[in-house]
Structure formats: C-alpha cells, structure tokens
Amino acid sequence: MQSFKAGELVVEAGSPVLLQGATSPYIFTVLKGWAQRNISLEDGRRQVVNFVFPGDFIGLQSAILGEMGHSVEAVTEMTLCVFTKDRFWDLFKNSPERAYDLTWIASREERMLGDTLATVGRKTAQERVAYALSSIYRRSKAQNLLIDGAAPMPWKQQDLADALGLSLVHTNKTLRRLREQQLAEWRGDELRVHDLGKLSDVGHYDLSATLTRPLI
Amino acid sequence: MQSFKAGELVVEAGSPVLLQGATSPYIFTVLKGWAQRNISLEDGRRQVVNFVFPGDFIGLQSAILGEMGHSVEAVTEMTLCVFTKDRFWDLFKNSPERAYDLTWIASREERMLGDTLATVGRKTAQERVAYALSSIYRRSKAQNLLIDGAAPMPWKQQDLADALGLSLVHTNKTLRRLREQQLAEWRGDELRVHDLGKLSDVGHYDLSATLTRPLI
DNA sequence: CGGTTGTTTGACGCCCTTCAACGAGCGTGG
DNA sequence: CCACGCTCGTTGAAGGGCGTCAAACAACCG
C-alpha cells in the first residue's frame, strides 16, 4: 500500500474532509482522530450515517462511484494518509489482494449500514442508544483505543441524536436513563461501560457483526 | 462472466434465497422476478433493507464477508443465475475489470443504504413513502420494466412499512393521502406515477443517486 | 361457501418532538 | 479579574405524529 501513498494530511476539528456530491482526487485512511459521515437534506435536517475511527477508509464512494453520497466531517483534529485516485485502477490490475481488501471494506460498510438501518427503523430510543454506545465501545476496543477502560467519545449528543434519528432532548434523557441503570456512562469525552454484554443485549446488538478480515 | 456461471435456479414466491447469519456456497444474479433483503431481530421485528430488482446481485456479503447480514426473500417467482463462491478469488486475480465491477456494486449498495437511512431517520411518513415509491419507480424504469407506464409492484404494504420504519396502518393511510394528492397510485401489483418530479420532490429524493457504471 | 390473506378505516393512547429556560464550562476582551 | 458571549448539556411542560387495537371489507381459493 505504501507505493500508493501520496502524503499525509492534518485537518482541524470541525472541518470537512469530503463533501457530499463532490468528487475528490484523493482518498484517505485515518491515522489519528475521529470523524463522522453525514447526509444533509436541503432543509438542514441531518443524518449521521456512521462514525469514523482510526484505521477507517474514507472516500471509497468518490473513487468508485465518482461522487460522494455523504460528507465526512472531522470531529477532532485528524491525521490522514492520502492516496490519489488516479492510480486506483492500477491497484485492481496489479494488486488483486488489495483490490479484494477494498471490496471487503465496502461490504463491511454495507453490513454496518444495514444494521444501523434496522436500529433506526425498528428499535426504541433506549435500544437505539444502547446499540450505538455498544457499537462505539466495541469498535474502540477492537482498535486498541481504550484508555483506562474507557472509550474516547469526541462526539456531541447532537451527533448521536442525528445518528439515531432522535431529537437531541430525547437522546439526552435516554442517556440519563442508561446512566441510572448503570449500563453506560458518557461523561465529557469518555465512555465507560460496566457490563458490555448487558448493554449489547439492551441494544439488540448482533454479535456476528464483529468482523475480521478473512484469509483468502 | 459466463465462465463463472454454474447454472440457473428457480425459486418460488415467498421462499428464502439466502438466510441471515448463514454462509452460502452460491451467489446469484436476478434474471427474473423480485425480492427483498431484510434483517430480523430475535423478537420478530423486521427491517426491509432494500428491494431487489431484476439485474441485481445477491450474496456479495456472504461471498466476501463469509456470512450474510440479512436474509433475501423472493417476493415473486424468481429465476436466478447461479455462481459458485469458490471461484470468486480467481475473478480478482484474473479479471480485474469484473473485480472492479463488484466493488462498484458494493459501493452503490452502500450509497443506496445511506440514502435510505437518511430517509428512515430524518423524514416524515409522507416523505418516506414518497421517497420509496419514487425510488422504486425510477429503478423499474431504469431496468425497462415499465408496463404501459406503470411499474410492477409485487410487494405488500407490510413490506413497504417494514422498509420505512413505519406501522402497516400508518403506511396505508399515508398511501391514501398520496393517492388523493394524485402523486402516486398503487393498485394491486402496479404503481402509477403521474408526476415523477413532484413525487421525488416530496420525498426529497436526491437525483444524483441515479448512478451509471463509469468507464474505467 | 367458509377460510385465508391482504387492504382499509376509526378510535385511542403514548413515545417522542418541540418549545423554552437554565446551568456549566471556557475563551475573550475591557 | 470579572463580565460577556458562546457552545453544549440538562430538565420540565405541552403537543402531535405515529403506533396499537379492533373490526370490517375485498379478493382469491379449495
């Protein structure tokens, strides 16, 4: 992958990395920092489609489809590994393993989106928040990001609300309930989970969603 | 693609093609008929993740990730083109163009799912139904499936409800409103749309979502 | 002609949204 | 050093969009 690397990029918190509807000559891998993918309607309503962690890939849609269906916004300062899109096709021709990896990434993203859709479409507020926190905690853990047992939680409550199709107020009240039930505690920018199994149960988190790249 | 073909399969209406959580040695392309992808929660709640049209690909998740995140259920009798999974890797090694196509398909699926998520998460019932009908009509048109200007509509109202995160009753009442406003008319198994632009507007359908495979 | 499946409609209630206000933390400037 | 403005979190009150319950209707079929 090194030969495709075009450089590194640092973006500050709050700034957009890729814009919905735009085409970018670059694609990225997150080396440090957190972001979110979101879709905006013309009238300002916003859906957070996914949270972005270190190690995640950004811009596949732009590279493959030619246009982004969502924006990517940095939530903290980020360090990105930059690749140029124009050498993308070479990758398929000369490096089938990497090409397979890309398809794997796209498929996993599709899988995550499906699970999120089921969550937003069919679960109660309490189940949705439990699902999201459980998912964030698991992903942080999988990337070795836990600090003293807590997951970094740089997002705002508004972001979580927009990810779950809930209002800010109700998200806040639901977080309180989960706190009172000792299921999850989100204070400042860290998330503590005492009983991950219980939290996942409440959120109907599907354990088979934890995917590891299979050997070919 | 012909050399990968292992045969044809006919499944009857209502039967499952692929099961959530299962691994299948086969992947399919739809030659005839319609289906739906859906995710089930243990307690019976159901989310229809997408509607499946002739020409669509089925089973990519199983082939790439090793396990399906959703089930695929035939809605009408279907004729499927069958491929075996075990020759999948050869495709990446020997046919980079086809490999690229697969990634393109996975990316487009991700794009559609994102738009659906924004719909279910952030739109009103009227907007959701208008979006779904608009999308179904457009996809039917793109595949040359219109019969006398109407799109085949083999699904049930319960399916649409489960796709949009709404109850059956409310979906029915919303369909009535759209009918009264002369925006869309779903009678029996055909869907008529008088003013596609207007319907799309009501549903906040993003026109850039109509994707055509780019030349490499 | 009963049985089954899917559509339609009305009544009622609740989960969640909206509105509104206050508090906490923090950087900035007088 | 305090006042201020801003952002974000928190909480209460009130209202509405949508879910649930229930029943009738329509179409198809053995």
A118 min Cα distance to partner chain B (Å): 5
| Rounded Cα gap, residues B79 and B10, in angstroms | 5
Residue A11 CA, nucleotide D8 C1', distance (Å): 23
Please write the tens of the pLDDT for every residue from A162-205: 999 999 999 999 999 999 999 999 999 999 999 999 999 999 99
Residue A169 CA, nucleotide C21 C1', distance (Å): 13
Q: With beta carbons less than 8 A apart as the criterion, state whether B92 and A100 touch.
A: yes
Would you place residue B211 in the very low, low, confident or very high pLDDT band (cuts 50, 70, 90)?
confident
Tell me what the mean pLDDT of segment A68-74 comes to.
97
**What's the mean per-residue pLDDT of chain B?**
94
Identify any residues that bridge with B185 across adjacent strands, giving them in sequence order: B192
pLDDT at A164: 98
Would you place residue B65 in the very low, low, confident or very high pLDDT band (cuts 50, 70, 90)?
very high
B160 min Cα distance to partner chain A (Å): 12
pLDDT at B210: 84
- Extract the runs of DSSP E, i.e. beta strands, from chain A: 5-11, 16-18, 26-32, 35-40, 46-52, 57-58, 71-74, 78-84, 151-152, 185-187, 190-192
Please write the tens of the pLDDT for every residue from A18-61: 999 999 999 999 999 999 999 999 999 999 999 999 999 999 99
Would you place residue A133 in the very low, low, confident or very high pLDDT band (cuts 50, 70, 90)?
very high
pTM: 0.95
pLDDT at B214: 67
Of A209, A211, A216, the CB nearest to B89: A216
**What's the mean per-residue pLDDT of chain A?**
94
Please write the tens of the pLDDT for every residue from B76-102: 999 999 999 888 888 888 889 889 999
Report the half-sphere exposure of B13 (CA within 13 A, side-chain side): 8
Please write the tens of the pLDDT for every residue from B2-42: 666 779 999 999 999 999 999 999 999 999 999 999 999 99
CB contact under 8 A, A121 and B92: no
Please write the tens of the pLDDT for every residue from B159-172: 999 999 999 999 99
